[in-house]
Amino acid sequence: MTYRGEMTEPLGARIRRLRTGRGWTQRELAEPGYDRGFLAKVETGNRPPSEEMLAYLAERFGLTVDELRFGRPPGVADELRASLDEGYRDLEQGRIAAAEARFSDVGKQAAGYHLDDVECYARFCQAEVKWQLFDVAGAQKELEHAEELAGAAPPWLRAMIVHRWSGCRYLSGDAGTAIARIEEALDAQPADPDAELCLLSALIHPLMEMGGLHRARRAAEAGRRLTRVATRPDFVARFHRQASQVWQAIGRADRAEQDLTEACRLFASAGFDRDAARCRWARGYLLRRLGRLDEARAELTSARDQLAAIGSEEGVAGATLELAEVRLRQGAPEDAAALISAVWALLARDVESLGEATGLRGQIAQARGDLESATRLLREAFEIQTRASLHGAAVSTSLRLGDVLRQRGQLDEAIEAYRRGLDSAAGSGT
């Protein structure tokens, strides 16, 4: 589906083509509103039509003014949006090259037709390709490119741009900016349940990691009310997946599992295989927290393999890291170390994962009896997490570090590690 020949066609030539295609003479088209001679000058490009004449001619042709002005075939905007939707499903199912080519093609066509909202959507989709490939900097750049046209975009798309941009900032170690941007958008966003639900979903994880459980719970409760009126199943599914973290943290594992089950169902029904696999990753995390390690291992292995088949490098890194945590808890530190090593290059792209993986390496060293390496790695993890304002993770790491130092008989240093953990907890604002 391309119309590029018409996109580059001069306006006068387009008017002449449309007129002759209907079998009309210049007089038949021009009169009674305009003189035949004036129309002749417009068709040859010697005189531009006024806005009034353009509106008159568009009405005669049965077109909108912009369809005539930019050579848009009737219905092309809807066709291009549908093409982007199809490309997004391609991306979710691992057909990355096909999706990227479609996004690029549609973006060029939308630009030629001056369809700013469609071009914005195409640019967002191109950012999603970078996101799936775990190119955080590339995704942020593409999102900023999309934001140049966000004024023409529908509220749900503007919200999703903020969601992903904030995700990029969070993964880059700037959680404070990520949260501030989402909250700013929530304050400015017109009443639209899909957009508001999208933004509330985006808030939950960074708030949790910064120790803001109470604020995250408020976002989850507000989002749950919006699920009754939201119209986009993928946004509802994304919310359920994020909200499950809150219910886990407050001891409502049953509610967390219900949310994950519903999220997976909704994603699967939409053909969003990548996000459905991410729900399995999240369920593996829940099972590990509940101590159901064999089930967690099976779920995380399936999630990792599905995400690898789809080409979701960010998902592979996260699921593998969680699987390594399970194997360590199962008494297999060498397996855990091998899993982390296999995806280390991916983990290093994301500050949160880098801090978690470094801390896990410290725990592996402790399990091996190498307390000196454990101390060094846990200290390194704590510094990474503190710099990124990941207070919850930093508190856990400081407790482990203090325990290792006590094992080594370094009581003063252990007390200092515990104190720094308390300082980090206080910095969370909880």
Nearest-5° angle of CA 248, CA 133, CA 88?
A: 85
User: What's this model's pTM, rounded to 2 decimal places?
Assistant: 0.81
pLDDT of amino acid 427 = 63
pLDDT for residue 2 = 47
**pLDDT the model gives residue 68:** 84
Location of structure tokens 């000058």: 41
Which amino acid is it at 52? E
Angstrom CA distances, 36 to 27, 31, 41, 45, 286, stand at 5, 7, 9, 14, 75
Q: What is the pLDDT along the chain (430 residues), one digit of tens a residue?
A: 444 445 568 888 888 888 889 999 989 888 888 888 888 988 888 888 888 888 888 888 888 888 788 778 878 899 999 999 999 999 999 999 999 999 999 999 999 889 999 999 999 999 999 999 999 999 999 999 999 999 999 999 999 999 999 999 999 989 999 999 999 999 986 679 999 999 999 999 999 988 899 999 999 999 999 999 999 999 999 999 999 999 999 999 999 999 999 999 999 999 999 999 999 999 999 999 999 999 999 999 999 999 999 999 989 999 999 999 999 999 999 999 999 999 999 999 989 999 999 999 999 999 999 999 999 999 999 999 999 988 889 999 999 999 999 999 999 999 999 999 888 776 655 4
Contacts by 324-332, CB closer than 8 A, 24 or more apart = 324/357, 324/360, 325/288, 325/360, 326/284, 326/288, 326/293, 326/296, 326/297, 326/300, 327/297, 328/360, 328/363, 328/364, 328/367, 329/288, 329/293, 330/293, 330/297
Listed in sequence order, the residues at least 6 apart from 307 whose beta carbon sits closer than 8 Å to its beta carbon are 274, 277, 278, 281, 315, 316, 319
C-alpha–C-alpha distance, residues 280 and 263, integer Å: 10
| Closest by CA position to 4, among listed 73, 54, 81, 58 | 73
Report pLDDT for 191.
79
Report pLDDT for 8: 67
- 324, burial (CB in 10 Å: exposed 0-12, middle 13-18, buried 19+): buried
- Whether omega for the bond prior to residue 74 falls within 30 degrees of 0, making it cis, is no
Q: How far is CA 273 from CA 42, 88, 226, in A?
A: 53, 11, 24
| DSSP secondary structure, 168-194, as one string | HHHHTT-HHHHHHHHHHHHHH--S-HH
Close Cβ partners of 120 (under 8 Å, ≥ 6 residues apart): 146, 149, 150, 152, 153, 157
| Per-residue b or e along 197-224, where b marks 16 or more CB atoms closer than 10 Å to that residue's CB | bbbbbbbbbbbbbbbbbebbbebbeebe
Distance (Å, whole) CA 407 – CA 66? 74
CA–CA separation, 295 and 135 (whole Å): 31
Say what the pLDDT of residue 189 is: 66
Taking the C-alpha atoms of residue 301 and residue 265, their distance in angstroms, rounded to an integer, is 20
CB atoms < 10 A from the CB of 319, how many?
30
402 touches 414 (CB < 8 A): yes
